[in-house]
A and B are shown apart, each in its own frame.
Chain A
């Protein structure tokens, strides 16, 4: 099962390596990992997408909580939540592909944010699966470069992760 784990961690040097080291040392998957300071600069918020059985997920949350610098851990995917990922994708846009690419970007509510004679850069935000769908919807031969941020997530409504 795919899970989205959110972590509040002290914004100290090496915080990221404590978390990533834990995942590699214990053989847990990391599909994506994002991290940045919160509105309180002493705290970082990390979002990790991982997969594993219920037992593995239980261990992952326990082991994360055990890290001395970790303040809070939640599994966002346990309840209603929103996930978003940003992708920048550079595609070849010449001839008839130019119009087609524009159309696809519109359908996926993407924005073209850089234009040359032969390329576009499309900016796309959404769930990871929406970004995946965009990639499979266009002709892969036209993709020059993709960069994705990994997932950020937040609980819906009253679910708040804060100290």
Chain B
């Protein structure tokens, strides 16, 4: 049967079992919007800014195993989407962004609302396409979904000129994708896995270092088995939170710039490091030169060969999908537990680091400590909420004080560090999990970067709970200025903040302001219990000067960690 390009787009989305997509209309995508209107299978969520459409699709993908989808118009719609695309790219999130384009004959003419979307996004996509012929459309969309979700996941942009959506051709959705240039490795090399198992068996000071790759590949089950089989300590990156339960006694917590003392020390002094889908980021190991001082053997499991030996030299590279590799490793270990005596000294040292209680903080009678709010949120949500964070100090406190029992419950922008993702991520997560409790942890700076989405949340009755840790500062910036720029708070003070309670109310939501520590718990309860079905915005007026500790300053080594008590 002949169909128009616009019909084909929708049919492809249906074939891909897309249930929700996030978008914003405009001239170049009007044919597509018209087809969307005529069907019900793919639900379209109208956001208030294209950046949020992409973030919401990204949040949807992070909270599920599915590919998120966004639709934007050409020109400004497309450029507004770029921050969202780059954010997904840095954290390897599978999304497909469909962008409108001016008609093929107008391309290159500086036509109205023309931008070279393929050119603009090239450095921040896994791949992108410009479809110039309607006969290529179905094939291209099939490929886009395939590329987005296989191998190292990532965003794929499909740029579709308006005339292509009007032209017609026979519609056939390909059953599978064959690409001679793209065949990601899944199974790890058995010889390498054997070497790794051997090293692990002999380790005296082992550490299992877990990253976003373990979450992206849903590797929790084999990973937890491995940890318990070996009885070795685990640490995770900001992106790996929840892959191993945050309350598991093997878990030393997050490592890196704001990681725990025990995690950073264990990483530094380990004799064998097993990296599971983690990429030795600069916020994690600090300066690679300092990291290289201690001799250790590094085993690195990663599906992307370019992540391996990029920043530190790896002894046993294993290219493959985390669960596949771990299953093989478990088979090799075959129930043989290493003798606990072998690592007894190591656990003893870890115990000493742990006893410093590096996340301890001084409670205050008058001022609300931001850490306290997160702890109370954890209690009231029984640790079961999907927590979507923005970027700043509040993000670090959320990561430190809300231990995640399961993966895909912690949504945040790690690689790009994009302020403004929190609310749209929560929208994406709530659409994916309508019955889940979804909380946003944000700051008064970040929330204002996508605040318009309060309107979308109203339209679709999303009962999000927004926990704003309002320190009246761009706190993370202020902290660096306090520590490294002689307390010259240049541009980090947010003057003339809005009344967030009134703002929430103006959008038709419920708003509360909390100024005293004793009100934290009751108001949280009111929000999560009495106002279960409402969007509630809670403006916590927190201690302005609170800082995030521990901290490894940029360019320093993991052992040069600053603790709160050092100051």
Q: A14-B118, A17-B119, A17-B122 are in contact. Are A71 and B180 (CB under 8 A)?
A: yes
Q: Is B281 close to A, CB under 8 A?
A: no
What are 18 A-B pairs with beta-carbon distances under 8 A?
A: A10-B181, A14-B118, A14-B119, A14-B122, A14-B130, A17-B119, A17-B122, A55-B309, A58-B309, A59-B310, A62-B306, A65-B306, A68-B127, A68-B147, A69-B127, A69-B181, A70-B181, A71-B181
- Do the beta carbons of B180 and A163 come within 8 Å of each other? yes
B126's partner among A9, A21, A68, A70 (CB-CB below 8 A) is A68
**Chain B positions 137-160 with a Cβ under 8 Å from a chain A Cβ:** 147
User: Assuming the A-B contacts A21-B122, A21-B123, A25-B123, are A66 and B306 also in contact, with contact meaning beta carbons closer than 8 angstroms in the complex?
Assistant: yes
Instruction: Compute how far the CA of A62 lies from the CA of B179 in the bound complex, rounded to whole angstroms.
Output: 18
Neighbour of A59 across the interface among B119, B179, B306, CB < 8 A: B306
| Interface flag for A113 (CB, 8 Å) | no
Task: Name the 9 nearest CB pairs between A and B, nearest first.
Answer: A62-B306, A68-B127, A71-B181, A62-B305, A25-B123, A68-B182, A63-B306, A21-B122, A66-B306
**In terms of DSSP, what is the predominant structure of the interface of chain A?**
helix
Minimum C-beta distance from A106 to chain B (A)? 46
Interchain CA distance A58-B309 in the complex, whole Å: 9
- Residues of B contacting A63 in the complex (Cβ-Cβ under 8 angstroms): 306
Give Cα distance in the complex from A58 to B130, angstroms.
Answer: 31
Task: Give chain A residues whose Cβ lies under 8 Å from the Cβ of B123.
Answer: 21, 25
B179 surroundings in chain A (CB, below 8 A) = 68
Select from chain A the residue with minimum beta-carbon distance to B179. Answer: A68
CB distance from B302 to the nearest CB of A (A): 11
Contact with A along B111-124 (1 / 0, CB 8 A): 00000001100110
A13 within 8 Å of B (CB atoms): yes
Contact for A68 among B130, B181, B304, CB less than 8 A: B181
Tell me the B50-89 residues at the A interface (CB within 8 Å). Answer: none
User: Which positions 34-62 of chain A face chain B at CB distance < 8 Å?
Assistant: 55, 58-59, 62
Instruction: Count A-side interface residues using an 8 Å CB cutoff.
Output: 20
Chain A residues engaging chain B, CB cutoff 8 angstroms: 9-10, 13-14, 17-18, 21, 25, 55, 58-59, 62-63, 65-66, 68-71, 163
Question: What 13 new A-B contacts, CB under 8 Å, besides A55-B309, A68-B179?
Answer: A13-B130, A14-B119, A14-B130, A21-B122, A21-B123, A25-B123, A59-B310, A63-B306, A68-B126, A68-B181, A69-B127, A69-B181, A70-B181
CA distance A13 to B159 in the complex (A): 14
Instruction: Give the shortest distance, in Å, between A35 (CB) and chain B (any CB).
Output: 16
CA separation between A46 and B309, bound complex, in Å? 26
Chain B's nearest CB lies how many Å from the CB of A19? Answer: 11
- Which of B's residues lie within 8 Å of A, judged by CB? 118-119, 122-123, 126-127, 130, 147, 179-182, 304-306, 309-310
Residue B305 contacts which of A9, A65, A70, A163 (CB distance < 8 angstroms)?
A65
* Chain B residues whose C-beta falls within 8 Å of the C-beta of A55 in the assembled complex: 309
**Distance between B247 CB and nearest chain A CB, rounded to angstroms:** 37
With both chains docked as a complex, state the minimum distance between the C-beta of A46 and any C-beta of chain B, in angstroms: 13
Distance to closest chain B CB from A43 (angstroms): 9
How far does the alpha carbon of A55 sit from the alpha carbon of B308 in the complex, in Å?
A: 11
A104 to chain B, nearest CB (A): 45
Query: In the assembly, what is the distance between CA of A70 and CA of B305, in Å?
Result: 15
In angstroms, Cα B179 to Cα A163, docked, is 12
Chain B residue at smallest Cβ distance from A8: B181
A55 smallest CB distance to B (angstroms) = 7
Which of B119, B122, B123, B306 has the largest number of chain A CB atoms within 10 A?
A: B306
Smallest beta-carbon distance B278→chain A, Å: 17
* Cβ contacts under 8 Å, B306 to chain A: 59, 62-63, 65-66
**What residues on A are CB-neighbors of B180 within 8 Å?**
71, 163
Docked Cα-Cα span, A18 to B125, in Å, equals 11
Report the minimum CB–CB distance from B137 to chain A (whole Å): 16
Closest to A13 in B: B130
Chain A residues, Cβ within 8 Å of B118: 14
CA distance A62 to B310 in the complex (A): 10
Q: How far is the CA of A65 from the CA of B181 in the complex (A)?
A: 9
In the complex, what distance in Å separates the CA atom of A140 from the CA atom of B369?
A: 74
Central interface residue in B119, B130, B147, B181, by most chain A CB within 10 Å: B181
Give the residue name and chain of the B residue nearest to A163 (CB): B180
| CB nearest to B143 among chain A residues | A68
Q: Give Cα A55–Cα B292 distance, bound, in whole angstroms.
A: 15
User: For residue A25, which residues in chain B have a CB less than 8 angstroms away from its CB?
Assistant: 123
- Find chain A residues with CB under 8 A from B304 CB: 66
Q: In the complex, A63→B127 CA distance in Å?
A: 13
Chain A neighbourhood of B119, CB < 8 A: 14, 17
B residues near A17, Cβ cutoff 8 Å:
119, 122
> For residue B305, which residues in chain A have a CB less than 8 angstroms away from its CB?
62, 65-66
Q: Which residues of B contact A65 (CB under 8 A)?
A: 305-306
A9–B310 alpha-carbon span in the complex (Å) = 24
Measured between beta carbons, the chain B residues less than 8 angstroms from A18 are: 122
By a CB distance below 8 angstroms, the chain A residues around B130 are 13-14
Residue of B nearest to A18 (CB): B122
Docked CA distance A66–B89 (Å): 14
> Measured between alpha carbons, how far is A10 from B182 in the docked complex, in Å?
11
Residue of A with least CB distance to B182: A68
> Chain B residues with Cβ under 8 A from A66's Cβ?
304-306
Give bound CA distance, A74 to B128, whole Å. Answer: 24
Complex CA–CA separation, A69 to B123 (angstroms) = 14
Bound Cα distance A42, B227 (Å) = 48
A59 cross-chain contacts in B, Cβ below 8 A: 306, 310
Q: Which residues of chain B come closer than 8 Å to A62, judged between CB atoms?
A: 305-306
Cα A82 to Cα B217 in complex, Å, equals 44
A63–B123 alpha-carbon span in the complex (Å): 12
Bound-complex Cα distance A9 to B304 (A):
19
Nearest residue in B to A72 (C-beta to C-beta)?
B181
Among A9, A17, A68, find the residue whose CB has the most chain B CB atoms closer than 10 A: A68
Q: How many Å lie between the Cα of A130 and that of B424 in the bound state?
A: 60
Q: Smallest CB-CB separation from B184: which chain A residue?
A: A66
> What is the minimal beta-carbon distance from B134 to any residue of chain A, in angstroms?
17
The docked-state distance in angstroms from the alpha carbon of A70 to that of B127 is 12
